[in-house]
Amino acid sequence: MKLRNLNLTIADVARTSRDNTLEAVNAGIQKKRGENGTPTNETDFVYVECAVRRGDILKVKFPPELSGKITDLKGRLDSDEIINISFTNLRLIPYALAGNNGAIISGVSAKAEDFTIESSSLGCMEDIEL
């Protein structure tokens, strides 16, 4: 069976198979690169990094039109807010390819059209007596 024929769902990557949301841990904007490899002012895509199974991170890419929404999310995450999001038309695509030394590099790429914040709470440290 070919990897491209696998149909992955959020339950396949979430911390538990019952989860239908993922915890966002970072968000950002990826700029396009110019001919010399330096970033340009043009947005290539925006992304949210999510905590998934076994402590791994899944980078979900979105269209550049969501840059304002991503900037807002990043601000909330930088303020130690714990945010769980759901996705509109999430596509999870497994891949495997040979690296420079012949080792197999494998993973899951993720794309979605949009996201919705399903829950959020402020993360806080409890007072610790020394």
Predicted confidence (pLDDT) at residue 1 exceeds the cutoff of 90: no
Residue 66, in any domain of the structure: yes
Residue 101, in any domain of the structure: yes
The CATH number that applies at residue 26 is 2.40.50
Q: Residue 35: its pLDDT value, please?
A: 87
Residue 23, in any domain of the structure: yes
Q: CA-based angle 116:119:122, to the nearest 5?
A: 125
Domain range for residue 51?
Answer: 3-117
What residues does 115 pair with on adjacent strands? 87
Residue 126, in any domain of the structure: no
Mean per-residue pLDDT of the chain:
90
Residue 128, in any domain of the structure: no
Residue 84, in any domain of the structure: yes
Tell me the whole-structure pTM to 2 decimals: 0.85
**Domain count along the chain:** 1
Residue 130, in any domain of the structure: no
Task: Determine the Cα–Cα distance for residues 50 and 87; give it in Å rounded to an integer.
Answer: 12
101-117 confidence digits (pLDDT tens): 889 999 999 999 999 99
Q: Please compute the mean of the pLDDT values over residues 86-112 and round it to a whole number.
A: 93
Residue 129, in any domain of the structure: no
Q: Which of 106, 112, 78 is nearest to 10 (CA)?
A: 112
